[in-house]
């Protein structure tokens, strides 16, 4: 039986911030030529959700921070999946 995890602790939140921030930096540098406008929209949304996550974290609202950081990363995954970002890291992005 898998261990049930039902809280968002500071350690887990920090881990997801690190993963998503790393993915964001890679995506920014991996924009496919001709897809700059699409990439800008996706990166803007990812940046906004990342900012929201930091806001919630500062307020001690780790559940909403965790949700926002996952939305941020979801936008990056979407861009990778649609071929807007030319990335190959299958640990950071849902590709292939």
Share of the chain above pLDDT 90, in %: 88
Query: What is the tens place of the pLDDT at every residue in 67-83?
Result: 999 999 999 999 999 99
| Residue 4 reports pLDDT greater than 80 | no
Query: What is the tens place of the pLDDT at every residue in 12-22?
Result: 999 999 999 99
- pLDDT-derived band at 55, boundaries 50, 70, 90: very high
Q: Could you tell me if 16 and 68 are in contact, meaning their C-beta atoms sit under 8 angstroms apart?
A: no
Fold designation for 10-81:
Substrate Binding Domain Of Dnak; Chain:A; Domain 2 (1.20.1270)
**Taking the domains of the chain in order of start, what are their residue ranges?**
10-81
* Average per-residue pLDDT for the chain: 93
Q: Considering Cα of 68, then 95, then 93, then 83, what sign does the dihedral take? A: negative
pLDDT at 86: 96
pLDDT at 1: 60
């Amino acid at each position: 039986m898998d261990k049930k995890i039902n809280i968002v602790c500071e350690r887990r939140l920090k881990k997801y911030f690190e993963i998503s921030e790393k993915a964001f930096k890679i995506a920014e540098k991996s924009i496919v030529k001709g897809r700059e406008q699409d990439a800008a929209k996706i990166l803007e949304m990812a940046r906004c959700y990342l900012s929201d996550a930091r806001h919630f974290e500062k307020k001690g609202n780790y559940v909403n921070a965790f949700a926002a950081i996952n939305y941020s990363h979801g936008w990056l995954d979407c861009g990778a999946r649609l071929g807007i970002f030319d990335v190959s890291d299958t640990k950071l992005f849902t590709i292939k």
